[in-house]
Amino acid sequence: MKKNEYIWTASGTDIEIRWMDKYGWVRPSQQEEYKAKWKYYQELPLRKLDDEAKMRYEEALRKAKVVRVR
């Protein structure tokens, strides 16, 4: 990179905006394959639980303010 090709940005600038415009970058949180992956791993603890245990698990997550991918 040459000296005159450097782009100065103030501190606090969101670099993601530049990456989206210049390179077509997309946040993983907006990509369906990543959403599906995290949903799968979040649901693993629920697979062997009965209905009552699932409700208690979900309640514990709500109390802890854990955000789940839906």
- Residue 6 CA neighbour count, 13 Å, CB half: 6
pLDDT band with cut points at 50, 70 and 90 for residue 43: confident
Q: 70: which 2 tokens?
A: 């839906």
CB neighbours of 15 closer than 8 A, spacing ≥ 6?
9
Share of the chain above pLDDT 70, in %: 79
Average pLDDT, the chain: 80
Looking at residue 26, what is its pLDDT?
Answer: 92
Whole-structure pTM value: 0.49
